[in-house]
């Protein structure tokens, strides 16, 4: 499974958050696309519309397990996808901004 470290991500990278709604509402990375893993197959078209045509999809969850599953699926579908190692826990620990669903400072649930 292709993996990328949080420290290697830049502001322009496309980020797909596959955590559930309550986790997203508590705190997420600004600009990330949110499609919960429980709805992923049904909402797959939203990803293909939003993802950059020739860009990489960086998949993130809380700690890296669910995002690894989705990244594997995306690679099987022919997309350039990688798992973000350590997920939002490492994102927050690295001091990256975490916002709640109202745009205020959030936290990783």
Residue 80's alpha-carbon distances to 28, 48, 75, in angstroms, are: 22, 12, 6
Residue 61 is a catalytic residue: yes
Q: Which helix (H) or strand (E) holds 34?
A: strand 33-34
Catalytic residue among 15, 29, 57, 61: 61
Task: Report H helices in 1-109.
Answer: 21-26, 44-50, 65-76, 87-93
Indicate which residues carry an active-site annotation. 61
């Amino acid at each position: 499974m292709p993996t990328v470290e949080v420290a290697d991500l830049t502001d322009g990278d496309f980020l797909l958050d596959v955590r559930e709604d309550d986790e997203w509402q508590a705190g997420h990375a600004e600009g990330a696309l949110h499609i919960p893993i429980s709805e992923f197959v049904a909402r797959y078209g939203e990803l293909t519309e939003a993802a950059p045509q020739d860009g990489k999809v960086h998949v993130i969850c809380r700690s890296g397990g669910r995002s690894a599953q989705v990244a594997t699926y995306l690679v099987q579908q022919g997309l350039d996808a990688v798992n973000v190692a350590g997920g939002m826990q490492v994102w927050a620990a690295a001091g990256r901004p975490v916002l709640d669903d109202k745009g205020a400072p959030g936290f990783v649930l």
